């Protein structure tokens, strides 16, 4: 992977999140790691830093790693890996190593103490700056998305590095 300036990022983020999907990987060398597929989120500027906003429900195994580590990556893989992305989005790491099951290769970055799938087209290496549980939701959102009270935690993640496949 090549480290590239964020100034060169020119993707349509609506399409990337909604159709391509991302795999986030949370955790580090000490606590271990797990990944899952996401399509809700966003990118922007917060506290003068480039950030991604990621939303993870409390029931996700990945949530446990975010409780213990601030290392998180967001990786976009081509649709050649759609099956792998579906596995990461439908099975839980509690039942076994999804990287092995989906035939993806976790790469460890020592300078950052976190992981991402080697097969990615591009990756954001990030650190969680802040998290909060979504609350005070209007009743229509509550009824549509949170009937079982499985709330999302929002993570504001600083983008530390942008890597692109060579
Ligand atoms: C296309 C797609 C998008 C998803 N987006 C999210 C998301 O933004 N937030 C979330 O909490 N779960 C999302 N999920 C569900 C998780 O990926 C799924 O529950 C996963 O199995 C959790 O894995 P884990 O228990 O190993 O963390 C999405 C699933 C798919 C297929």
- Quick one: which atom of ligand 1 is closest to the CA of 34? 26
* Residue 147: per-residue pLDDT: 94
For residues 161 and 32, give the distance between their C-alpha atoms in angstroms, rounded to a whole number. 21
Question: pLDDT digits over 104-141, tens only?
Answer: 999 999 999 999 999 999 999 999 999 999 999 999 99
Query: Which portions of the chain are predicted below pLDDT 50?
Result: none
Would you say 43 and 52 are in contact if contact means Cβ atoms under 8 Å apart? yes
Q: Which CATH number does the domain housing residue 30 bear? A: 2.30.110.10
Q: Which of 37, 55, 133 to mutate to test the pocket of ligand 1 (most atoms within 8 A of CB)?
A: 37
Cα(21) to centroid(ligand 1), Å: 10
Q: Tell me which residue range forms the domain holding 6.
A: 2-164
pTM of the model: 0.98
Total domains, the chain: 1
Residue closest via CA to ligand 1's atom 29 equals 89
- 146 close to ligand 1 (CB < 6 Angstrom): no
């Amino acid at each position: 992977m090549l480290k590239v300036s964020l100034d060169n990022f020119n993707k349509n983020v609506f399409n990337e999140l909604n159709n391509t999907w991302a795999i986030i990987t949370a955790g580090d060398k000490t606590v271990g790691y797990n990944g899952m597929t996401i399509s809700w989120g966003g990118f922007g500027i917060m506290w003068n830093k480039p950030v991604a906003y990621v939303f993870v429900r409390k029931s996700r195994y990945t949530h446990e790693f975010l409780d213990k580590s601030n290392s998180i990556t967001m990786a976009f893989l081509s649709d050649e890996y759609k099956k792998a992305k579906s596995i990461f989005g439908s099975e839980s790491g509690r039942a076994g190593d999804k990287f092995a099951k989906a035939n993806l290769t976790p790469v460890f970055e020592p300078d950052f103490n976190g992981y991402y799938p080697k097969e990615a087209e591009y990756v954001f290496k990030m650190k969680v700056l802040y998290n909060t549980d979504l609350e005070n939701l209007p009743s229509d959102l509550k009824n549509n998305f949170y009937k079982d009270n499985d709330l999302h935690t929002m993570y504001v993640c600083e983008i530390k590095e942008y890597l692109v496949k060579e």
